[in-house]
Amino acid sequence: MHASFSENLEKLERDLRYPFRKRDLLTEALTHRSYHHENPDRVPSYNERLEFIGDSVLGLVVVEYLFNFRSKFTESEMSEIKSYIVKGSLLSEVAAGISLGRYLRLGKGEDETGGRAKKSLLGNAMEAVFGAVYLDAGYDTARKTILGLFEERILEAIRSGQYHSYKTELQEESQMRFGVLPEYRIISQEGEEHLKTFSVEVFIAGKSFGKGTGRNKKEAQTSAAKEAMEKMKRLAS
Catalytic residues: 55, 127
The b-or-e profile of 132-164 (16+ CB within 10 A means b, else e) is: bbbbbbeeeebbebbeebbeeebeebbebbbbb
Do residues 199 and 211 make contact, with C-beta atoms less than 8 angstroms apart?
A: yes
Contacts of 35 (CB under 8 A, 6+ apart): 43, 46, 105, 106, 107, 110
197-204 and 183-190 beta bridge pairing: antiparallel
E strands, 74-223, in order: 183-190, 197-204, 207-214
